[in-house]
Structure 1
Amino acid sequence: MATPIDPTATAFLLAENRNMPMHVGGLQLFKKPEGAGRGYVRELFEAMSSPEEIAPLFLKRPYRSLRTGGQLFWRPDEQFDIEHHVRHSALPKPGRVRELLELCSRLHSTRLAWERPLWEAHVIEGLRDGRVAMYTKTHHALLDGVSAMRLLASVLSTDPDQRDMPPPWGARPRRGRAESAADKDAAEVSVSALRTALGLTVEAAGLPTALVKTITKGLRNQTSALSFYAPRTIFNQDITGSRRFAAQDWPVERLRAIGKATGTTINDVVMAMCSGAMRTYLQELDALPDAPLVAMVPVGLNAKQSQIASAEGGNAVGAVMVQLATDLADPARRLASIHRSMKDGKEALSSMTPVQILAMSALGQAPAILTPLLRMQGIVRPPYNLIISNVPGPRTAHYWNGAEMLGTYPLSIPINGMALNITCTSYNGLMCFGLTGCRRTVPRLQRMLAHLDDELTALERAAGV
């Protein structure tokens, strides 16, 4: 049965082109269970490619025709071919992480075809240390990064002896009348929230009061929930379709110790690591602007209760525009500046209702969306230079049918005018960084990993830990 595609998902589908694939991805590393034989990876692949039933979300594909009046619909793929979606790959020798990241970079560069459901999964062997990798990609019209993380967590277990877990695309038993968050269709959730938000005109009418103060700060180029100006950088230009992916993890305890010693948060320390890495990277290329870079940072807030509060706890998601203080040479001063910027942005959003937060976030995103759409790069200054997000993950070790997940690294979406995306995921005491950039626009992306490591050490030294 065909169902209309909601406006948000439609926008992701229509914005896509060869240079701008609109899918999110993930790379997971697994340790083989004790006693696994030489054929373990083949057995793992066969188990993942033969679930008892495919979840409906992973069966639908976009469709439009004269009969639909040109409107996009989801409809089930009547010729679904699991072998197209689940694939088995092997790395060339010497089987280093370098070869793995290069493969993921190439896989992440290709678009997903509309004539099939918009997802792929690759089981990858050949790492010389014996680990097994899985790379997945899913169109943003189906799932965003947070939903994808929740879906992955829903099929993992803290029990290493459990052996009846389906792959993420396998159907799971219904849990009574109430579905879990991972089982919900992301499109249905978006439509429901949109309809409710549009109906709350009285509450949204209060936006101008909260908006005046925020816009004033934005126009002054101060810290704010809104940004109208960011310096031009090499990241803010048209991109190609080729991607480069870099990933590494650091112990969360190192970040926590810095935060405790300086009165800042772990997220502030993540931002400071990225700030220092960006500063060094751009200095090497003789491309560091005098003005500080601005990052768009999605944040979860315990906003005021309203009719659109989430059934999962009333959280609202907004976007804070953070000045990264890349004009400051001292790591301690950069961290303090970022902390103030984050705090100020959160305070601006916390004074608003959830409807107002949605409107404010949309207003802040508008320049970034409209500029490439109207082909105005180089004419209009970007509202921010890059996106940095931090998605919380499981705090303890998790397993898939006995295989321990050792790390999980997100791959995201660069767009025209925004050639670099940094996404972090916490897992089992690690902060896992995933850097996704345009291969041509962001040269030598992997060097940023060394800069991140150097900056973490510099922050520890400055904090005295």
Structure 2
Amino acid sequence: MSERLRPRDVAVLAEESASTPMHNATVEIFDPGDSGFDYARLVRLVEDRISFVPRYRQRIQTVPGRLANPVWVDDDRFEIGYHVRRSALPRPGSVDQLRDLASRIISRPLDRNRPLWELYLVEGLADGRVAMLSKSHHVLVDGVQTVDIGQVLLDANPELRELGHDEWHPRGRPSPFSLMAGAVRDSVTEIETVTDTVAVTTGAVLRGVADGARTTGRVLDALTNRSPRAESPIIGPLSQQRRLVMVRTDLADHRKVREVHGGSVNDVVLATITGALRAWLMTRGESMRGIRQIRALAPVSVIDDELEPTSLGSQIAAHFVDLPVGEPSPVVRLHQVSYSFLAHQETGRGIPAARLAGMSGFAPATFHALGARVAGVERRRGYQLCVTNVPGPQTSLYAAGARMVASYPVPPLFEGHPLAIGVTSYDGSVFYGLNADRDLLPDAELLGPCLVEALDELVDSTSAARNRAPRGRRKRKAPEGP
């Protein structure tokens, strides 16, 4: 029997449009070394591991008459070459060229008539390196039944573990009659099926009315030569194009700030983002408009008592924090961000970063996907920016013997939210991935140097703090985490 999509996933599909493709992405850079890692080896690796994520060979099938939610069915036309693709940059390709290529790829929605994922191998980077760009739809990864495919492609050792191809054969395509019969049967035996279908259908109608109203409003504004003024510079209608910003920083710098000023590495990350937003707003003259703070959603990991401690199904909860972009002092900004997380830490349900990063088979992409799910559910609560920060392992990971040297998360953009930030710490570095709407935020590239300067500002403050500290003063014990 085919599994039926949950109401939340159907709602995501109903809200998706050409300007809001609902996929999570990751850009990873690899050093092949002597491994011989290339497109052919990547295809073999995917073929060897895809059985661990069976949903990656399934597509969505609607029910005739929409009598019930769609179901997952095996794709009888599944072709590995369609999903694992090959691209290249003019040698020697730069990170900026890779970023531009990735921006175009993540702008395109996935084909709903096929399994909802794509994987690109990008060749031609300088120093013989290659990049791997993965796209997985928002409804595909739930962290319990399905993890991101990057979860199973990466190994802790350079030696390739061949797990063996499975003898997969797609189950026959269900007929329209069997789909209708299943919907009727579920409606009789499970009252939730009727409730879910009505709720999803009603929600889709209401969303269509709301979208029509927004479109009419934009047309009237254009006809009357009136430009609606947004309440925030990072709130507004999206285009179909994206601009990716990738920034690499040292984890040691974040830890240095934490050691001197207290808090956690996550606090330092958010304080760095706050400082970067402040500097960026000042380049636009936005500080003259009285912007004092930006409401951010920062999903946090909490312990689920019903699951095993090492389960990837650990709950992800919403946490809202006001980023004090109007505060000129970097240290005060850090303390204000740290204070907002005290209540979460005092619950005792938070998962320490070291424990989260040490989970068996851990891959940051899965947790970024879970954070994006939370952002989608909570987006009507008035936040302006989503920041997902996932601590990764501090040892090297490998794909078919090629060492991963960088991992940039690319979170999706939701309607009205033209900027989203993902952060991954891995192997001594902290990687910032910023996904921005290309038309609404044409100067998003400035956020890159602003991030670097904001972190440098925090690092510089540690020297001043140490000089002011009296002799014999005991250092505050750093909290657990990277």
TM over 0.5: yes
Task: Report the Cα offset of residue 296 of structure 1.
Answer: 0.5
Task: Report the Cα offset of residue 414 of structure 1.
Answer: 0.9
Letter in 1 for 2:134: T
Instruction: Sort the Cα spacing of 1:172 and 1:405 in 2 relative to 1 into closer, same or farther, 3 A.
Output: farther
C-alpha contact (below 8 Å) 2:330/2:458 kept by paired residues: yes
% identity of equivalent residues: 28
Q: CA–CA distance in 2 between the matches of 1:364 and 1:96? A: 32
Q: CA–CA distance in 2 between the matches of 1:453 and 1:419? A: 21
Aligned to 2:472: none
C-alpha contact (below 8 Å) 2:158/2:401 kept by paired residues: yes
Q: CA–CA distance in 2 between the matches of 1:362 and 1:29? A: 25
C-alpha contact (below 8 Å) 1:332/1:463 kept by paired residues: no
Q: Does 1:47 align with 2:58?
A: no
Instruction: Sort the Cα spacing of 1:349 and 1:445 in 2 relative to 1 into closer, same or farther, 3 A.
Output: farther
TM-score (normalizing by structure 2)? 0.71
Q: CA–CA distance in 2 between the matches of 1:89 and 1:454? A: 33
Aligned to 2:121: 123
1:352-391 deviations in Å (ceiling 9; x for gaps): xxxxxxxxx999976733xxxxxxxxxxxx7221001111
Q: CA–CA distance in 2 between the matches of 1:364 and 1:66? A: 31
Task: Report the Cα offset of residue 141 of structure 1.
Answer: 0.2
Instruction: Sort the Cα spacing of 1:420 and 1:256 in 2 relative to 1 into closer, same or farther, 3 A.
Output: same
Task: Report the Cα offset of residue 319 of structure 1.
Answer: 1.4
Task: Report the Cα offset of residue 129 of structure 1.
Answer: 2.0
Q: CA–CA distance in 1 between the matches of 2:250 and 2:71? A: 44
Q: CA–CA distance in 2 between the matches of 1:43 and 1:339? A: 47
Q: CA–CA distance in 2 between the matches of 1:462 and 1:148? A: 43
C-alpha contact (below 8 Å) 2:376/2:414 kept by paired residues: no
Aligned to 1:78: 76
Aligned to 2:379: 368
C-alpha contact (below 8 Å) 1:165/1:400 kept by paired residues: no
Task: Report the Cα offset of residue 56 of structure 1.
Answer: 1.8
Per the alignment, in what secondary structure is the counterpart of residue 240 of structure 2?
Answer: coil
Indicate the structure (1 or 2) with the bigger Cα radius of gyration. Answer: 2
Per the alignment, in what secondary structure is the counterpart of residue 98 of structure 2?
Answer: helix
Q: CA–CA distance in 1 between the matches of 2:167 and 2:242? A: 34
Q: CA–CA distance in 1 between the matches of 2:166 and 2:121? A: 19
C-alpha contact (below 8 Å) 1:158/1:397 kept by paired residues: yes
Task: Report the Cα offset of residue 20 of structure 1.
Answer: 0.4
Task: Report the Cα offset of residue 295 of structure 1.
Answer: 0.8
Q: Which is further off, 152-161 or 333-342? A: 152-161
Aligned to 2:293: 292
Letter in 1 for 2:450: H
What does residue range 87-166 of structure 1 map to in structure 2 within 5 Å?
A: 87-143=85-141, 151-164=149-162
Aligned to 1:253: 252
Task: Report the Cα offset of residue 286 of structure 1.
Answer: 1.6
Greater percentage in helix: 2
Per the alignment, in what secondary structure is the counterpart of residue 448 of structure 1?
Answer: helix
Q: How many residue pairs are counted as aligned between the two chains? A: 379
Aligned to 1:436: 435
C-alpha contact (below 8 Å) 2:385/2:419 kept by paired residues: yes
Q: CA–CA distance in 2 between the matches of 1:428 and 1:236? A: 34
What does residue range 193-204 of structure 1 map to in structure 2 within 5 Å?
A: none
Aligned to 1:384: 383
Q: CA–CA distance in 1 between the matches of 2:117 and 2:50? A: 16
Per the alignment, in what secondary structure is the counterpart of residue 120 of structure 2?
Answer: strand
Q: CA–CA distance in 2 between the matches of 1:147 and 1:334? A: 39
Aligned to 1:209: none
Instruction: Sort the Cα spacing of 1:9 and 1:311 in 2 relative to 1 into closer, same or farther, 3 A.
Output: farther
Output the aligned Cα RMSD. 3.1
Aligned to 2:13: 13
Task: Report the Cα offset of residue 249 of structure 1.
Answer: 1.7
Structure 2: gaps spanning 5 or more residues: 169-191, 193-229, 351-371, 467-482
TM-score (normalizing by structure 1)? 0.74
Instruction: Sort the Cα spacing of 1:439 and 1:328 in 2 relative to 1 into closer, same or farther, 3 A.
Output: same
What does residue range 237-252 of structure 1 map to in structure 2 within 5 Å?
A: 237-252=236-251
Task: Report the Cα offset of residue 47 of structure 1.
Answer: 2.7
Q: Does 1:448 align with 2:459?
A: no
Aligned to 1:235: 234
